[in-house]
Amino acid sequence: MTYRQFVTANHVSTKRDYLARVTESDKAECAELANQYDFDYWDGSRQTGYGGFRYDGRWRKVAHAMVATYGIEPHMRILDIGCGKGFLLHDLTEACPGVEVAGLDISRYAIEHAMDSVKPFLAEGTAVKLPWPDDHFDLVVSINTLHNLYIYDLWSALREIERVSRRAKFICVEAYRTEREKVNLMYWQLTCRAFHTPAEWEWIYDKVGYSGDHEYVFFD
């Protein structure tokens, strides 16, 4: 299991006002809306989610890095769990023309508003039970998604990732190393269910048998 840094550059490029997230509105009410994963989460206020989830090309570098790192070639299969509107999958098809992509997301809204280039390859569903056969994908990725699961569902999702992958796997989740990062994460998050340190995440990976690569994003 190798630590990668595909996502961190995108994460740190976004400025966050942690205190405003808990002082300018009722955080609990915002979280209730966010956990519906509907308009409010994707395209509503910044207080309830992304504040407008629009394609801006920021995932292109991630896509090219993944293609190079994992030796992705045309006709290989890639699955994105928690694909949202399909931005990363779109960029992967441009980084490696001919690659076969699939995406899964719990949000019907996100899939209905996905990019036309990948929309036919996206499905609504949960990471707890993936609708694909064993050893089906050459690369399975999940970015900023699995920390939104309760621990029992998280373990099932990790096992499912192992099951459907025949080659490479990459997971990125939120984590904290210090009390400040923990507080910032708790202030900022709207949908997180699993609050763990890197050591705890790695303990979970070991217990479940996850053998792929991983990354953490921190709120410092």
Tens digits of per-residue pLDDT, 47-81?
999 999 999 999 999 999 999 999 999 999 999 99
Contacts of 152 (CB under 8 A, 6+ apart): none
pLDDT at 220 over 90: yes
Alpha carbon distance 90, 92 (integer Å): 5
Residue 1: predicted pLDDT: 87
What digits encode the pLDDT tens for the residues 77-124? 999 999 999 999 999 999 999 999 999 999 999 999 999 999 999 999
Lowest-pLDDT range, 15-24, 123-132, 184-193? 15-24
Q: What percent of the chain has pLDDT over 90?
A: 98
Confidence label for 44 from pLDDT (cuts 50, 70 and 90): very high
Whether the Cβ atoms of residue 21 and residue 188 lie closer than 8 Å to each other: yes
Domains and CATH numbers, the chain: 8-217 (3.40.50.150)
Question: What is the chain's mean pLDDT, rounded?
Answer: 97
Report the pLDDT averaged over residues 153-165: 98
Q: What percent of the chain has pLDDT over 70?
A: 100
pTM for the predicted model, two decimal places: 0.96
What digits encode the pLDDT tens for the residues 132-158? 999 999 999 999 999 999 999 999 999
Confidence label for 209 from pLDDT (cuts 50, 70 and 90): very high
3-class SS of residue 110: helix
Alpha carbon distance 158, 32 (integer Å): 26
Alpha carbon distance 62, 31 (integer Å): 29
Token pair recorded at residue 62: 């991630």
